[in-house]
Amino acid sequence: MAEQTTTKPTPEQHQEEVWAFGGLRAGADGKRLYAWLPEAGAGRTVYFPRFHGQAVGELYRVTVERRDGGRLSVLGSPRYAGDGRVDAETAAHLRAEHHAASTILALARRHRSAARRNELDELIYPLRTIAARLSRPERTALIAYVITELTYPRATRAGGEQR
């Protein structure tokens, strides 16, 4: 993955290039990445975690620093080039990949959220069982106790011992 930097290089170290924005992608670790195609869409795709454009397939002017060893950094923000876009077939392909990645990331988010919800439900089940046997004032006291324990985890236990 290439890197995004905010440092100011000397003018000899950076150049302005025209890149095509390839849209959203799902990284192997489930993280959100943004695809860019250097050389106005003809180059090999590079990925950045935060550096993104607005319209998939459109061309942007990007300030780039290329270092020894093939390292690549982008500087600043992409600027809409206003002089075209990639060909229609490439644009359709990029949009399809963008929408697929968007769906994959949304599903992953939903699964993580569901997993957190299931864990909470499993932890709260014993409290529900206890609360079902209590009168309303006793349930209110149980809720106050749980809130106190969650808010002040070092609270004194019954019997006076400190945690």
Q: What is the DSSP letter of 17?
A: E
Q: Note whether 51 and 43 are within 8 A (CB).
A: no
Each residue's pLDDT expressed in tens, for the chain with a length of 163 residues: 565 555 554 555 788 989 999 999 998 888 899 999 988 767 788 888 888 888 899 999 999 888 777 778 888 888 888 877 888 999 999 999 999 999 999 888 888 777 777 777 788 888 888 999 999 888 889 888 888 888 887 655 555 555 4
Structure letter (DSSP) for residue 12: G
Task: Compute φ and ψ for 14, nearest 5 degrees.
Answer: -125, 160
Q: Is-contact 59 14, C-beta < 8 A?
A: no
Q: What is the pLDDT of residue 157?
A: 58
Structural tokens at position 91? 């644009």
Distances (CA, A) of 38 to 17, 42, 140, 149: 7, 6, 62, 55
- 3-class SS of residue 91: helix
- Distance of alpha carbon 73 from alpha carbon 56, whole angstroms: 21
What is the predicted pLDDT for the residue at 34? 92
**Model pLDDT, residue 3:** 58
What is the pLDDT at residue 115?
Answer: 72
pLDDT at residue 161, as a whole number: 56
Q: What is the reported pLDDT for 158? A: 59
pTM, whole model, 2 decimals?
Answer: 0.60
CB 32 within 8 A of CB 26: yes
pLDDT at 122: 82
pLDDT of residue 60: 92
SS3 of 32-81: EEEEEECHHHCCCCEEECCCCCCCCCEEEEEEEEECHHHCEEEEEEEEEE
Report which of 70, 82, 84, 4 is spatially closest to residue 36, judged by C-alpha positions: 4
* Beta strands 32-37; 14-26: pairing state: antiparallel
pLDDT value for 155: 52
The whole-number pLDDT of residue 66 equals: 82
